[in-house]
Chains A and B, each alone.
Chain A
């Protein structure tokens, strides 16, 4: 069973002129089948954690370890991490002109699965998933994320998760910018994949990064971590989310931050 272990992770962001430490010793373990919610105010480093785990070149890990089933994630290239079973649903998926979504999905599935899926079975698989996510089949013929609305981009991220079947899924503010219907559809997609992967004996571990408690009504977390100033400030169960809902982050930041 899958296990992601993050130990004492320090990460700096590299800008044009400077380098600034954003993550200051993150410790977190996610086991198969578990859903961990990471909540924190803007600028606390939540997204940095997500991008660092996926290996974005803008972030430099200065110390610490990340192990996926014992294997050293930090020494892997971006694509190796994905093939090892790590998936990041991005907050701001980029538009890639000229690359059709269908071509992209099939190329990615081929890479992750190690062989090209059979054409007929693949088309059905994509069609079914898109239907469940209430996506227009036309999307497959459009360029990746190009001209997609915010909600469509997020559905597309969840579609990729369902098709690539990761061991650990990191959802970076997947709820931001979604109206309530889209939030429900996207959340159902996540829950469906959780159930399917569990049924297949490969229960996914989910790291849900969010600013709001709203999505937690749809995706039940097993653990809630409050993230402040590049560290996990406190961990608890879903009752912690309820406290944040009521009081905001004041107790952790010492200042009133609009939730």
Chain B
């Protein structure tokens, strides 16, 4: 672990007390210039303040205030992970890290650049692997670049705040149309205090050939990050959006509660890839949902490696005939982690099909839960759904749960669910070790093989990152 430059004495002293720091590769932190002054706790003034600072139209402020009331009214969910330790009064709901957005890499402040260097954004750019980078640092997007040719095709890739300013009509039409504020307690919270995120619009028939990428980080202690992403893929268009998260470690718990709304229009296709690697003190409570119109395809590829608690169930509402939804998900629960993930598939029209493939690995007392709902409504005849869950428990103190709700209200459907839980077998280990691998390497290889079906769906650099993360997670897994 190398220390970041320009760390103050106080920060160093603080760093020493961060117990998890030594085990978490991305767990450095830079100076907290932005976060120290932000107010903790949530009330109407905070919400008004956010809206005022952003110079938002009146209707957005009204939505925020309405959402705040919904948030206050709704109880915490009782069915998922334990959320009782979240202290909503001890969270900063809005932090502005730089006064203005920058358009080129050189203009970024040094400490932010350093942080991004560690994640590797510039390299990725140089390799021309990234179509556009929208890097969220703290609560606002500060760096945003998009390749010329995409702009020429009419593809919009902005931070959400700019999206609201530049495309107010599109925004008012679609914001909250997929996930209303009152959907759940955390979508209400997000709607009240959202800041940052991505706004993507892909015009009719445009195929964005390379993935759009955005990196998100939480940096201020106790800071909630409430980014809001809105993606509209117009008829027959295609886009692959890639979201990745890494976060530094702090002592007290952080809250990340994003909302991602996607509209995939007739015949269009959208893929949304996430590799979430929040530090293991973050509550990651995210609502993601797509409305897929006739013949549209939505694919969620979702990797959950970090966070203390994740509750995330990417959903597809198949609104039109022949719409398709799929979720490929891999969850990795290590010490002290609870990955409560899954999917919701709502079949609302005939000939719709959905597929959920979920793989989870639990070790060191970690808990991974698959929680899913497949609902086939009356009229959604000739619908098909398959759900496959595989769980790997690599020791005797970890936990794996499967809660697969299936609700069929139409006779003309095909629905299947399968799940298996297994332990990496000693035979496999022995075989690999007899070939000269250490036990650790052998275990990592078995784990890689286990998640291979997911890894192969990722863009190359993400697959590599996932492999690296898995290797890191598996360190010390043996013995």
Query: Do A and B share a direct contact in the complex (Cβ within 8 angstroms)?
Result: yes
Q: How far is the CB of B168 from chain A (nearest CB, A)?
A: 37
Determine the residue in chain A with the shortest Cβ distance to B353: A16
Contact mask A1-37 → B, CB, 8 Å, 1/0? 0000000000000001100000000000000000000
B322 interface hit (Cβ, 8 Å): yes
Q: Scoring A residues 165 to 205 as 1 if CB is less than 8 Å from chain B, else 0, what string do you get?
A: 00000000000000000000000000000000000000000
Shortest CB distance B426–A (Å): 33
CB interface residues, B 309-333, toward A, < 8 Å: 322
With a CB–CB cut-off of 8 A, which chain A residues contact B295? 17
Within 294-351 of B, Cβ neighbours of A (below 8 Å) are at 295, 322, 351
A-chain residues with CB within 8 Å of residue B322 when the two chains form the complex: 16-17
Q: 4 pairs across A/B with beta carbons < 8 Å?
A: A16-B322, A16-B351, A17-B295, A17-B322
Q: Smallest Cβ distance from B13 to chain A, in angstroms? A: 64
Chain B residues near A17: list those with CB within 8 A: 295, 322
Which residues of chain B in 268-311 are interfacial with respect to chain A, using CB atoms and an 8 Å cutoff? Answer: 295
**In whole angstroms, what is the CA distance A133 to B137 when docked?**
76
What are the nearest 4 A-B pairs in CB distance?
A17-B322, A16-B351, A16-B322, A17-B295
With a CB–CB cut-off of 8 A, which chain A residues contact B351? Answer: 16
B94 to chain A, nearest CB (A): 47
Over the window 147-190 of chain B, the binary record of Cβ atoms lying under 8 Å from chain A Cβ atoms (1 yes, 0 no) is: 00000000000000000000000000000000000000000000
Residues on B lying within 8 angstroms of A by beta carbon are 295, 322, 351
Q: How many residues of A contact B (CB 8 A)?
A: 2
Bound CA span A188–B281, Å: 75
Closest Cβ–Cβ distance, residue A248 to chain B (whole Å): 39
CB distance from A91 to the nearest CB of B (A): 23
Interface residue ranges of A133-175 to B (CB < 8 Å): none
Expressed in whole angstroms, the minimum distance between the Cβ of B79 and any Cβ of chain A is 36
Beta-carbon contacts under 8 Å, A59-78 to B? none
CA distance A84 to B149 in the complex (A): 66
Among residues of A, the one whose C-beta sits closest to the C-beta of B384 is A16
Report A33 CB to chain B, min CB distance, Å: 43
Nearest-Cβ distance from residue B204 to partner chain A, whole angstroms: 20
Please report the C-alpha to C-alpha distance between residue A16 and residue B353 in the assembled complex, in whole angstroms.
11
Measured between alpha carbons, how far is A16 from B297 in the docked complex, in Å? 15
Residue of A nearest to B351 (CB): A16
- A19 to chain B minimum Cβ distance, whole angstroms, is 14
Could you say which residues of chain B place their CB within 8 Å of the CB of A16? 322, 351
Cα–Cα distance between A16 and B352 once the two chains are bound (Å): 10
A17 to B382, CA, bound (A): 12
Least CB separation from A17: chain B residue: B322
- Bound Cα distance A17, B322 (Å): 8
What residue in chain A is nearest B382 (Cβ atoms)? Answer: A16
Instruction: Tell me how far the C-beta of B135 lies from the nearest C-beta in chain A, rounded to whole angstroms.
Output: 40
Cα of A16 to Cα of B321 in the assembled complex, Å: 10
Name the distance in Å between B463's Cβ and chain A's nearest Cβ.
31
CB distance from A249 to the nearest CB of B (A): 36
> Closest CB of chain A to B90's CB: distance in Å?
53
Bound-state CA distance A16–B351 (Å) is 8
A16 to B322 Cα, complex, angstroms: 8
Taking the closest CB of chain B, its distance from the CB of A73, in whole angstroms, is 27
Q: How far is the CA of A125 from the CA of B222 in the complex (A)?
A: 83
- Give the distance to chain A from B412, nearest Cβ to Cβ, in Å: 13
CB distance from B268 to the nearest CB of A (A): 15
- In the complex formed, the residue of A with least CB distance to B295 is A17
Cβ contacts A190-227/B at 8 Å (1 or 0 each): 00000000000000000000000000000000000000
A76 → chain B, closest Cβ, in Å?
A: 24
Closest Cβ of chain A: how far from B194's Cβ, in Å? 38
In angstroms, how far is the closest chain B Cβ from the Cβ of A16?
Answer: 6
Shortest CB–CB separation between residue A146 and chain B, in angstroms?
18
Q: Which A residue sits closest to B322, measured CB to CB?
A: A17
CA distance A168 to B295 in the complex (A): 43
CB distance from A6 to the nearest CB of B (A): 31
In the bound assembly, the distance between CA atoms of A184 and B97 in angstroms comes to: 83
Min CB distance, A89 to chain B, in Å? Answer: 27
Kindly identify, within residues 234 to 255 of chain A, every residue whose CB is under 8 Å from any CB belonging to chain B: none
Q: How far is the CA of A17 from the CA of B295 in the complex (A)?
A: 9
How far apart sit A53 and B21, CA to CA, in the bound complex (Å)?
Answer: 72
Determine the distance from Cα of A22 to Cα of B411 in the docked complex, in whole angstroms.
Answer: 30
* Cα–Cα, bound, A212→B351 (Å): 38
Complex CA gap A17/B297 in Å reads 14
CB distance from A17 to the nearest CB of B (A): 6
Q: How far is it, in angstroms, between the C-alpha of A190 and the C-alpha of B296 when the chains are bound? A: 50
* A45 CB, nearest partner CB in chain B, Å: 25
Nearest chain A CB to B235 CB, angstrom units = 16
